[in-house]
Amino acid sequence: MKILALETSCDDTSVSIVDEGTIVLSSVVSSQADLHSIYGGVVPEIAARAHIQNIIPALDRAFTESALTMAEIDCLAVTKGPGLIGSLIVGVNTARVLASLNKKRLIALHHTEGHIYANWLGKSSKTAPAFPLVCLTVSGGHSSLIYMKKHLCYEVIGETHDDSAGEAYDKVAKMLGLGYPGGPAISVQAQKGNDQAYSFPRIDLTKKPSRNSDGFMEKSLPSLDFSFSGLKTAVLRDVRKLEEKNQLNPGAICDLAASFQTCANEILVRNTIRAAKRYKVKTVLLSGGVAANKDLRQRLSSALEQIENIKFYYPEYQYCTDNAAMIGAAAYQHRLLNDFTEPKDLTPDSGLKLISAS
Protein backbone atom coordinates (compact mmCIF):
# COMPACT_ATOMS: atom_id res chain seq x y z
CA MET A 1 0.00 0.00 0.00
CA LYS A 2 1.86 3.05 -1.28
CA ILE A 3 1.26 6.42 0.33
CA LEU A 4 2.37 9.75 -1.15
CA ALA A 5 3.22 12.01 1.80
CA LEU A 6 3.84 15.77 1.97
CA GLU A 7 5.39 17.71 4.86
CA THR A 8 5.82 21.50 4.84
CA SER A 9 5.21 22.52 8.45
CA CYS A 10 8.37 24.58 8.93
CA ASP A 11 11.35 25.17 6.61
CA ASP A 12 11.82 21.82 4.84
CA THR A 13 9.79 21.02 1.73
CA SER A 14 9.50 17.26 1.78
CA VAL A 15 7.75 14.64 -0.34
CA SER A 16 8.02 10.89 0.07
CA ILE A 17 6.45 7.65 -1.13
CA VAL A 18 6.28 4.99 1.57
CA ASP A 19 5.09 1.41 1.13
CA GLU A 20 3.30 -0.45 3.96
CA GLY A 21 4.30 2.28 6.42
CA THR A 22 7.90 1.07 6.54
CA ILE A 23 9.59 0.89 3.12
CA VAL A 24 10.79 4.27 1.83
CA LEU A 25 10.54 4.21 -1.98
CA SER A 26 11.58 7.84 -2.28
CA SER A 27 12.37 10.62 0.17
CA VAL A 28 12.97 14.17 -1.01
CA VAL A 29 13.85 16.89 1.49
CA SER A 30 14.44 20.30 0.00
CA SER A 31 16.14 22.22 2.81
CA GLN A 32 15.82 25.98 3.15
CA ALA A 33 18.55 26.22 5.82
CA ASP A 34 20.75 28.44 3.63
CA LEU A 35 17.92 30.93 3.09
CA HIS A 36 17.24 31.31 6.81
CA SER A 37 20.75 31.01 8.26
CA ILE A 38 21.60 34.65 7.52
CA TYR A 39 18.68 35.68 9.76
CA GLY A 40 19.67 33.28 12.56
CA GLY A 41 16.30 31.48 12.45
CA VAL A 42 13.32 30.60 10.26
CA VAL A 43 11.57 33.63 8.66
CA PRO A 44 7.94 32.50 8.13
CA GLU A 45 7.29 34.63 5.02
CA ILE A 46 10.47 33.40 3.31
CA ALA A 47 9.67 29.79 4.27
CA ALA A 48 6.18 29.97 2.72
CA ARG A 49 7.49 31.45 -0.54
CA ALA A 50 10.27 28.85 -0.77
CA HIS A 51 7.76 26.01 -0.23
CA ILE A 52 5.74 27.31 -3.19
CA GLN A 53 8.86 27.19 -5.37
CA ASN A 54 10.08 23.81 -4.09
CA ILE A 55 6.94 21.70 -3.80
CA ILE A 56 6.43 20.81 -7.49
CA PRO A 57 10.12 19.92 -8.13
CA ALA A 58 10.05 17.84 -4.92
CA LEU A 59 6.94 15.97 -6.13
CA ASP A 60 8.56 15.33 -9.51
CA ARG A 61 11.70 13.96 -7.87
CA ALA A 62 9.73 11.71 -5.52
CA PHE A 63 8.02 10.07 -8.51
CA THR A 64 11.25 9.85 -10.54
CA GLU A 65 13.22 8.30 -7.64
CA SER A 66 10.55 5.69 -6.99
CA ALA A 67 9.78 5.09 -10.70
CA LEU A 68 6.08 5.12 -9.79
CA THR A 69 3.10 6.93 -11.28
CA MET A 70 0.15 8.51 -9.51
CA ALA A 71 -2.00 5.56 -10.64
CA GLU A 72 0.05 3.30 -8.36
CA ILE A 73 -0.50 5.48 -5.27
CA ASP A 74 -3.12 4.23 -2.80
CA CYS A 75 -3.73 7.51 -0.98
CA LEU A 76 -2.17 10.85 0.00
CA ALA A 77 -1.07 12.12 3.39
CA VAL A 78 -0.17 15.59 4.60
CA THR A 79 0.81 17.40 7.80
CA LYS A 80 -2.22 19.46 8.90
CA GLY A 81 -0.38 21.11 11.84
CA PRO A 82 1.08 22.36 14.06
CA GLY A 83 3.61 24.62 12.38
CA LEU A 84 3.96 27.91 10.53
CA ILE A 85 0.62 28.69 8.92
CA GLY A 86 2.06 29.98 5.63
CA SER A 87 4.19 26.84 5.33
CA LEU A 88 1.35 24.47 6.22
CA ILE A 89 -0.97 26.08 3.65
CA VAL A 90 1.38 25.13 0.80
CA GLY A 91 1.52 21.43 1.70
CA VAL A 92 -2.15 21.15 2.63
CA ASN A 93 -3.41 22.89 -0.52
CA THR A 94 -1.09 20.90 -2.78
CA ALA A 95 -2.35 17.67 -1.20
CA ARG A 96 -6.01 18.74 -1.49
CA VAL A 97 -5.66 19.55 -5.18
CA LEU A 98 -3.72 16.39 -5.97
CA ALA A 99 -6.22 14.23 -4.09
CA SER A 100 -9.24 15.85 -5.75
CA LEU A 101 -7.90 15.76 -9.30
CA ASN A 102 -6.59 12.21 -9.03
CA LYS A 103 -9.58 10.93 -7.03
CA LYS A 104 -7.38 9.72 -4.18
CA ARG A 105 -8.29 9.62 -0.52
CA LEU A 106 -6.45 11.94 1.85
CA ILE A 107 -5.12 11.53 5.39
CA ALA A 108 -4.36 14.59 7.56
CA LEU A 109 -1.81 14.21 10.33
CA HIS A 110 -0.32 15.88 13.36
CA HIS A 111 3.38 16.60 12.81
CA THR A 112 4.39 14.81 16.04
CA GLU A 113 2.72 11.59 14.87
CA GLY A 114 5.21 11.66 12.02
CA HIS A 115 8.19 12.07 14.36
CA ILE A 116 6.99 9.16 16.50
CA TYR A 117 6.36 6.85 13.52
CA ALA A 118 9.79 7.60 12.01
CA ASN A 119 10.75 4.76 14.34
CA TRP A 120 8.75 2.28 12.23
CA LEU A 121 10.62 3.10 9.01
CA GLY A 122 12.70 0.15 7.81
CA LYS A 123 11.20 -2.22 10.40
CA SER A 124 9.35 -5.48 9.79
CA SER A 125 6.42 -6.70 11.88
CA LYS A 126 8.97 -8.68 13.93
CA THR A 127 11.37 -5.79 14.54
CA ALA A 128 8.83 -2.97 14.98
CA PRO A 129 8.56 -1.26 18.39
CA ALA A 130 6.35 -3.13 20.88
CA PHE A 131 3.65 -1.52 23.06
CA PRO A 132 3.30 -0.13 25.66
CA LEU A 133 5.93 2.46 24.94
CA VAL A 134 7.04 5.92 25.81
CA CYS A 135 8.40 8.31 23.18
CA LEU A 136 10.64 11.27 23.91
CA THR A 137 9.88 13.75 21.10
CA VAL A 138 12.42 16.54 21.02
CA SER A 139 12.40 19.00 18.15
CA GLY A 140 12.45 22.72 17.47
CA GLY A 141 8.76 22.99 18.38
CA HIS A 142 8.30 20.24 20.97
CA SER A 143 9.73 18.53 24.01
CA SER A 144 7.26 15.92 25.16
CA LEU A 145 7.04 12.48 26.64
CA ILE A 146 4.20 10.56 25.03
CA TYR A 147 2.83 7.29 26.37
CA MET A 148 1.23 4.90 23.86
CA LYS A 149 -0.49 1.65 24.82
CA LYS A 150 -1.36 0.93 21.18
CA HIS A 151 -1.09 2.46 17.70
CA LEU A 152 -2.37 6.06 17.36
CA CYS A 153 -3.26 6.25 21.05
CA TYR A 154 -1.36 9.16 22.56
CA GLU A 155 -1.16 10.36 26.15
CA VAL A 156 1.14 13.33 26.71
CA ILE A 157 2.70 12.60 30.12
CA GLY A 158 5.43 15.25 30.06
CA GLU A 159 5.76 18.63 28.35
CA THR A 160 7.97 21.66 28.42
CA HIS A 161 6.80 24.67 30.43
CA ASP A 162 8.81 27.09 28.29
CA ASP A 163 11.37 26.44 25.52
CA SER A 164 11.61 23.17 23.63
CA ALA A 165 14.93 21.31 23.72
CA GLY A 166 15.62 22.22 20.06
CA GLU A 167 14.85 25.88 20.76
CA ALA A 168 17.34 25.81 23.66
CA TYR A 169 19.98 24.30 21.36
CA ASP A 170 19.26 26.94 18.70
CA LYS A 171 19.27 29.88 21.13
CA VAL A 172 22.48 28.79 22.86
CA ALA A 173 24.13 28.32 19.44
CA LYS A 174 23.10 31.88 18.55
CA MET A 175 24.64 33.22 21.80
CA LEU A 176 27.85 31.40 20.93
CA GLY A 177 27.82 32.74 17.36
CA LEU A 178 27.47 29.26 15.88
CA GLY A 179 24.69 30.05 13.39
CA TYR A 180 21.46 28.26 12.44
CA PRO A 181 20.40 25.47 12.81
CA GLY A 182 22.07 25.43 16.19
CA GLY A 183 21.73 21.80 17.29
CA PRO A 184 24.22 20.25 14.85
CA ALA A 185 26.66 23.16 15.38
CA ILE A 186 26.55 22.75 19.19
CA SER A 187 27.21 19.01 18.93
CA VAL A 188 30.25 19.57 16.69
CA GLN A 189 31.78 22.16 19.08
CA ALA A 190 30.85 20.07 22.13
CA GLN A 191 33.05 17.21 20.93
CA LYS A 192 36.09 19.46 21.35
CA GLY A 193 35.07 20.86 24.76
CA ASN A 194 35.09 19.93 28.45
CA ASP A 195 31.53 19.29 29.64
CA GLN A 196 32.52 19.89 33.28
CA ALA A 197 33.97 23.34 32.61
CA TYR A 198 30.71 25.14 33.44
CA SER A 199 28.03 24.15 35.90
CA PHE A 200 24.46 24.67 34.69
CA PRO A 201 21.18 23.89 36.53
CA ARG A 202 19.47 20.52 35.89
CA ILE A 203 16.03 22.06 36.47
CA ASP A 204 13.54 19.56 37.91
CA LEU A 205 9.91 20.66 38.10
CA THR A 206 8.98 18.11 40.75
CA LYS A 207 6.06 19.54 42.67
CA LYS A 208 6.11 20.05 46.45
CA PRO A 209 3.79 17.68 48.42
CA SER A 210 0.26 19.13 48.73
CA ARG A 211 -2.86 18.38 50.81
CA ASN A 212 -5.66 16.44 49.13
CA SER A 213 -9.38 17.18 49.68
CA ASP A 214 -9.37 15.04 52.89
CA GLY A 215 -6.57 17.12 54.36
CA PHE A 216 -3.92 14.41 53.98
CA MET A 217 -0.51 15.23 52.55
CA GLU A 218 -0.22 13.71 49.08
CA LYS A 219 3.14 12.37 48.08
CA SER A 220 3.95 13.99 44.76
CA LEU A 221 5.64 11.97 42.09
CA PRO A 222 8.73 13.37 40.39
CA SER A 223 7.63 15.49 37.46
CA LEU A 224 7.96 14.39 33.85
CA ASP A 225 7.78 18.00 32.61
CA PHE A 226 10.71 19.98 31.29
CA SER A 227 11.97 23.54 31.61
CA PHE A 228 14.91 24.83 29.59
CA SER A 229 14.63 28.61 30.00
CA GLY A 230 16.70 28.65 33.24
CA LEU A 231 19.45 26.66 31.57
CA LYS A 232 19.45 29.06 28.61
CA THR A 233 19.67 32.09 30.95
CA ALA A 234 22.53 30.47 32.89
CA VAL A 235 24.49 30.00 29.65
CA LEU A 236 23.78 33.61 28.67
CA ARG A 237 25.07 34.85 32.04
CA ASP A 238 28.38 33.01 31.55
CA VAL A 239 28.65 34.17 27.92
CA ARG A 240 28.23 37.81 29.04
CA LYS A 241 30.86 37.42 31.80
CA LEU A 242 33.33 36.00 29.27
CA GLU A 243 32.54 38.75 26.75
CA GLU A 244 33.18 41.42 29.38
CA LYS A 245 36.61 39.91 30.03
CA ASN A 246 37.20 39.44 26.29
CA GLN A 247 37.57 35.70 26.91
CA LEU A 248 34.84 34.26 24.67
CA ASN A 249 37.48 32.46 22.59
CA PRO A 250 37.11 29.20 20.56
CA GLY A 251 38.16 27.08 23.58
CA ALA A 252 35.55 28.70 25.85
CA ILE A 253 32.88 28.26 23.13
CA CYS A 254 33.63 24.51 22.94
CA ASP A 255 33.50 24.19 26.76
CA LEU A 256 30.20 26.11 26.94
CA ALA A 257 28.72 23.99 24.13
CA ALA A 258 29.83 20.76 25.83
CA SER A 259 28.59 21.83 29.29
CA PHE A 260 25.24 22.94 27.85
CA GLN A 261 24.79 19.77 25.78
CA THR A 262 25.52 17.49 28.73
CA CYS A 263 23.13 19.43 30.97
CA ALA A 264 20.26 19.50 28.43
CA ASN A 265 20.69 15.82 27.59
CA GLU A 266 20.90 14.74 31.24
CA ILE A 267 17.55 16.47 31.88
CA LEU A 268 15.98 14.69 28.87
CA VAL A 269 17.37 11.31 29.94
CA ARG A 270 16.36 11.76 33.62
CA ASN A 271 12.69 12.36 32.78
CA THR A 272 12.56 9.64 30.12
CA ILE A 273 13.90 7.05 32.56
CA ARG A 274 11.34 8.19 35.15
CA ALA A 275 8.56 7.79 32.59
CA ALA A 276 9.78 4.37 31.41
CA LYS A 277 9.85 3.03 34.98
CA ARG A 278 6.56 4.62 36.04
CA TYR A 279 4.63 3.36 33.02
CA LYS A 280 6.42 -0.04 32.98
CA VAL A 281 6.95 0.12 29.22
CA LYS A 282 8.48 -2.45 26.91
CA THR A 283 9.94 0.15 24.57
CA VAL A 284 11.42 3.64 24.62
CA LEU A 285 11.47 5.69 21.42
CA LEU A 286 13.46 8.82 20.70
CA SER A 287 12.28 11.15 17.93
CA GLY A 288 12.43 14.68 16.48
CA GLY A 289 15.35 16.79 15.27
CA VAL A 290 17.25 16.60 18.57
CA ALA A 291 17.17 12.78 18.28
CA ALA A 292 19.98 13.31 15.75
CA ASN A 293 22.20 14.27 18.68
CA LYS A 294 24.74 11.46 19.16
CA ASP A 295 25.44 12.28 22.79
CA LEU A 296 21.70 12.09 23.62
CA ARG A 297 21.36 8.71 21.85
CA GLN A 298 24.35 7.33 23.75
CA ARG A 299 23.27 8.64 27.16
CA LEU A 300 19.72 7.35 26.80
CA SER A 301 20.93 4.02 25.49
CA SER A 302 23.30 3.45 28.43
CA ALA A 303 20.70 4.58 30.99
CA LEU A 304 18.15 2.15 29.51
CA GLU A 305 20.65 -0.70 29.60
CA GLN A 306 20.36 -0.51 33.40
CA ILE A 307 16.64 -1.37 33.19
CA GLU A 308 15.69 -4.91 32.28
CA ASN A 309 13.66 -5.78 29.19
CA ILE A 310 13.33 -2.36 27.59
CA LYS A 311 14.14 -1.96 23.92
CA PHE A 312 15.39 1.39 22.67
CA TYR A 313 14.75 2.77 19.17
CA TYR A 314 15.74 5.94 17.39
CA PRO A 315 15.31 6.82 13.71
CA GLU A 316 18.09 6.94 11.13
CA TYR A 317 19.66 10.41 11.01
CA GLN A 318 17.78 11.56 7.89
CA TYR A 319 14.44 10.66 9.51
CA CYS A 320 15.07 12.58 12.78
CA THR A 321 14.69 16.09 11.38
CA ASP A 322 11.59 17.00 9.37
CA ASN A 323 10.83 14.69 6.44
CA ALA A 324 7.76 13.35 4.67
CA ALA A 325 8.69 9.65 5.00
CA MET A 326 7.75 9.80 8.68
CA ILE A 327 4.36 11.27 7.69
CA GLY A 328 3.89 8.32 5.31
CA ALA A 329 4.73 5.91 8.14
CA ALA A 330 2.17 7.46 10.50
CA ALA A 331 -0.43 7.76 7.73
CA TYR A 332 -0.26 4.00 7.15
CA GLN A 333 -1.72 3.37 10.62
CA HIS A 334 -4.60 5.81 9.88
CA ARG A 335 -5.09 4.12 6.51
CA LEU A 336 -5.61 0.76 8.26
CA LEU A 337 -8.50 2.42 10.14
CA ASN A 338 -9.83 4.11 6.97
CA ASP A 339 -9.37 7.40 8.78
CA PHE A 340 -9.65 9.79 5.81
CA THR A 341 -10.39 13.52 5.46
CA GLU A 342 -12.46 15.08 2.68
CA PRO A 343 -10.06 17.24 0.60
CA LYS A 344 -12.61 20.07 0.41
CA ASP A 345 -12.93 20.15 4.21
CA LEU A 346 -9.24 20.13 5.07
CA THR A 347 -7.70 23.31 6.47
CA PRO A 348 -4.27 23.69 8.07
CA ASP A 349 -4.14 24.28 11.82
CA SER A 350 -0.99 25.94 13.19
CA GLY A 351 -1.98 25.10 16.78
CA LEU A 352 -3.25 21.55 16.19
CA LYS A 353 -3.36 19.37 19.34
CA LEU A 354 -2.23 15.76 19.31
CA ILE A 355 -5.28 13.55 19.75
CA SER A 356 -5.70 9.79 19.60
CA ALA A 357 -7.51 8.19 16.68
CA SER A 358 -10.94 6.89 17.65
What are the angstrom distances between the C-alpha of 137 and each of 9, 44, 63, 114, 358?
16, 23, 30, 10, 22
99 vs 235, which CB is nearer to ligand KG4? 235
- Is residue 74 within 8 A of residue 335, CB to CB? The reply is yes
Least separation in angstroms between residue 116's CB and ligand KG4 is 12
319 vs 332, which CB is nearer to Zn ion? 319
Least separation in angstroms between residue 341's CB and ligand KG4 is 21
- Residues in contact with ligand KG4, shown as a per-residue x/- string from 82 to 121 under the rule CB under 6 A: ----------------------------------------
- 159-176 b/e (C-beta count within 10 Å ≥ 16 → b): ebeebbbbbbbbbbbebb
- Residue 14: phi, psi to the nearest 5? -135, 135
- The only residue of 51, 58, 322, 346 in contact with ligand KG4, by rule CB under 6 A: 322
Contacts of ligand KG4 in 174-213 (CB under 6 A)? 181-184, 187
- Is residue 57 within 8 A of residue 51, CB to CB? The reply is no
Amino acid, single-letter form, for residue 230: G
- Is residue 17 within 8 A of residue 26, CB to CB? The reply is yes
| Secondary structure class of 333 (helix, strand, coil) | helix
Least separation in angstroms between residue 135's CB and Zn ion is 13
CA–CA gap between residue 274 and residue 268 (Å, rounded):
10
Please identify, among the stretches 98-106, 288-296, 304-312, 344-352, the one whose residues bind ligand KG4 according to the rule CB under 6 A: 288-296
Least separation in angstroms between residue 283's CB and ligand KG4 is 20
- The only residue of 139, 143, 262, 341 in contact with Zn ion, by rule CB under 5 A: 139
Choose among 17, 30, 97, 86: nearest CA to 58: 30
- The only residue of 12, 195, 225, 322 in contact with Zn ion, by rule CB under 5 A: 322
Binding site for ligand KG4 (CB under 6 A): 10, 139-141, 166, 169-170, 181-184, 187, 288-290, 292-293, 321-322
Binding site for Zn ion (CB under 5 A): 139, 322
